[in-house]
Amino acid sequence: MKNIKFTKMSAAGNDFVVVEDSDLCGLAGKICDRRYGIGADGMLLLEKTAKADIRMRIFNPDGSEVDMCGNGARCAAVYYTYMLSAIRYPLIKIETKAGILEAKIDGDMVKLKMSDPHSMKLDISLVIARNDERKRGVTKQSPCSKSEIALGTSCLRNDVMVVNFINTGVPHAVIFVDDLENIDVDKLGRAIRNSERFAPKGANVDFVKVLGKDKIAVRTYERGVEAETLACGTGCVAAAILSGAGRSVDVVTHGGEILKVCFEKKGAKVSNVWLEGSAKIVYKGRMEL
């Protein structure tokens, strides 16, 4: 048995187990299990590095490692500031597989400078068969009937799903919908996440409703978690950039908290992207593994 020290953290309801022991990489699935482990949307491994103040590695509940996590990085910034650093620096640098991120902290509010998004593709036609249709060999069908999902004409064209794609550190498929509340995020998100269009790695799936000039609401199905989460930082950024709602956007997450996304855009080029919101230490503890 191994006795591990951990810290449970949350950013907009996106929760993480933070550890400093690299030997735990292969145990992320057990640690994140909500019934037999600590329970979390992901595990953050924080390590020393010569390239930044801290290195962050992110592991999903299925054990896979991803390049980046916006809410996880905000938690890492708070953890470093209050748990590891003897000095309160005005700017913290975090090394990730997606590049070096910068974070500014004021109490539990964290403003995170993201890497520039890339690979933007708009109006992708996506055809996904329902499970019962797959069994019969039918592939050219709508992902779900109009009576099952209140998608609306904004993303359904002749029964073909219209999605957008952007990589904000991790890949995101973004769908604008008319009725966000009644979307079956787990069912439809899983189908899109596993679409051949996004193979082999898949994509997070964001369902977005524009609420006003500078405000949107987002629900996200996260790959690796394989379920809807209360918030997804990179998903909020992806949705804000593609929404056309403005350059400073309030994003209402499924958990009810509001994250702010700010960015600059010149033509198709998006840069100077910032994600802002709270990140908190929930509790500290030990676990026998």
Domain locations along the chain: 3-114+279-288, 118-272
* Integer Cα distance of 97 and 65 in angstroms: 10
pLDDT value at residue 145: 45
pLDDT grade, residue 34 (50/70/90)? very high
* Integer Cα distance of 125 and 169 in angstroms: 23
pLDDT value at residue 241: 97
Q: Name the CATH code of domain 3-114+279-288 (choices 2.40.110.10, 3.30.420.10, 3.20.20.70, 3.10.310.10).
A: 3.10.310.10
Q: Which residue has the tokens 């299990």?
A: 33
pLDDT, tens digit (0-9, with 9 covering 90-100), for 98-142: 999 999 999 889 999 999 999 999 999 887 655 433 333 333 334
Would 3-114+279-288 and 118-272 be classified into the same CATH topology? yes
pLDDT value at residue 6: 97
Q: What is the set of active-site residues?
A: 69, 232
pLDDT value at residue 128: 65
Percentage with pLDDT > 70 across the chain: 89
> Using an 8 Å Cβ cutoff, are 220 and 206 in contact?
yes
Q: Which residue has the tokens 């978690």?
A: 225
pLDDT value at residue 289: 81
Coil, strand or helix at 209: strand
pLDDT grade, residue 148 (50/70/90)? very low
CATH code of the domain made up of 118-272: 3.10.310.10
pLDDT score of 146 more than 90 = no
* Integer Cα distance of 122 and 18 in angstroms: 36
Residues annotated within the binding site for substrate are 14, 60, 70-71, 204, 222-223, 233-234
pLDDT value at residue 246: 81
pLDDT, tens digit (0-9, with 9 covering 90-100), for 188-235: 999 999 999 999 999 999 999 999 989 999 999 999 999 999 999 999
* Integer Cα distance of 276 and 289 in angstroms: 35
pLDDT grade, residue 51 (50/70/90)? very high
